[in-house]
């Protein structure tokens, strides 16, 4: 994907917020003949995105659109470009935007957030929020001994949240994006960074 401007990113966030308020339904401006007038979106999970990305780590946008909106090739190919561009914007947003930007809460707790998209764990218990704590030197060194980047990420994320890896992969991409952003801070920033954040 080409480099995105701040204005384009803000537009993406606005489109996703509108999608949520419209109960995950998109109405076509130029519906195809003998085709749907509306489509419903489904949040992409970490597991789904990883499987589609494969070793290359990149998912073709048309594949994303078809998966998120449960569409076949014929339906997508018969869409008008403006409506397809709208779906592409949503699909890109689902894998790029953080849940913090989409939740309508005034006091978002970066280390104990509520989930944008709740899910059931392997024991069929509803997961509505989680807490994250910084990794230790020992757990970081253990992570670095792993060779697969996805395994590294799942390992350190599980250690820092107490959530089993099999449950983490059910998390929506926006919730995952917030979690990974916070982990990057923990792994790279000095203590003063967090001291300033908590005192402001």
Chain segment 138-177, per-residue pLDDT in tens: 999 999 999 999 999 999 999 999 999 999 999 999 999 9
**Domain co-membership, 109 together with 189:** yes
Q: Are 70 and 40 in contact (CB under 8 A)?
A: yes
- pLDDT value for 55: 61
Count, residues in the chain: 200
Residue range 105-122, pLDDT digits in tens? 777 899 999 999 999 999
What whole-number distance in Å separates Cα of residue 11 and Cα of residue 13? Answer: 5
Rounded to whole angstroms, the Cα distance separating 41 from 132 reads 29
Residues 74 and 113 in one domain: no
What is the CA 174 to chain-centroid distance, rounded? 3
The reply to whether the predicted model has a pTM over 0.95 is no
Domain termination site, one of 46, 79, 97: 97
Tell whether 63 and 130 lie within a shared domain.
no
Closest residue by Cα to residue 155 from 171, 170, 167, 139: 139
| pLDDT greater than 70 at residue 84 | yes
Query: Do both 86 and 19 map to the same domain?
Result: yes
In terms of domains, do 128 and 189 share one? yes
Residue 61, pLDDT score: 92
**Chain-centre distance of CA 173, in angstroms?**
2
Q: In this structure, are 42 and 117 located in the same domain?
A: no
Residues 89 and 120 in one domain: no
Per-residue pLDDT averaged across 50-54, rounded? 88
| 1 part of a folded domain | no
Provide CB contacts within 8 A for 97, sequence distance 6+: 12, 13, 16, 174, 177
Per the structure, the complete domain to which residue 50 belongs is given by 6-97
User: Domain count of the chain?
Assistant: 2
Confidence of residue 2 (pLDDT cuts 50, 70, 90): low
Place of tokens 């000095």: 190
The predicted pLDDT at position 108 comes to 87
Distance, first Cα to last Cα, the chain: 35
93 located within any domain: yes
């Amino acid at each position: 994907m080409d480099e995105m401007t701040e204005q384009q990113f803000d537009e993406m966030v606005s489109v996703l917020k509108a999608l949520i308020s419209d109960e995950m339904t998109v109405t076509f401006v130029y519906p195809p003949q003998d085709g749907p007038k509306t489509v419903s979106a489904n949040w992409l999970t970490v597991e789904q995105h990883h499987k589609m990305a494969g070793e290359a780590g990149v998912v073709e946008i048309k594949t994303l659109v078809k998966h998120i909106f449960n569409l076949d090739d014929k339906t997508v190919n018969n869409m008008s470009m403006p409506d397809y561009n709208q779906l592409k914007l949503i699909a890109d947003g689902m894998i790029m935007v953080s849940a913090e930007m989409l939740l309508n809460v005034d006091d978002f707790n970066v280390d104990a957030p509520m989930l944008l998209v709740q899910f059931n764990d392997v024991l069929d218990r509803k997961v509505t929020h989680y807490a994250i704590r910084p990794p230790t030197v020992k757990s970081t060194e253990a992570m670095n001994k792993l060779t697969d980047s996805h395994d590294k990420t799942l390992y350190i994320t599980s250690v820092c949240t107490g959530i089993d890896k099999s449950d983490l992969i059910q998390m929506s991409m926006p919730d995952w994006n917030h979690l990974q952003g916070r982990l990057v801070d923990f792994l790279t920033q000095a203590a003063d960074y967090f001291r300033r954040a908590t005192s402001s």
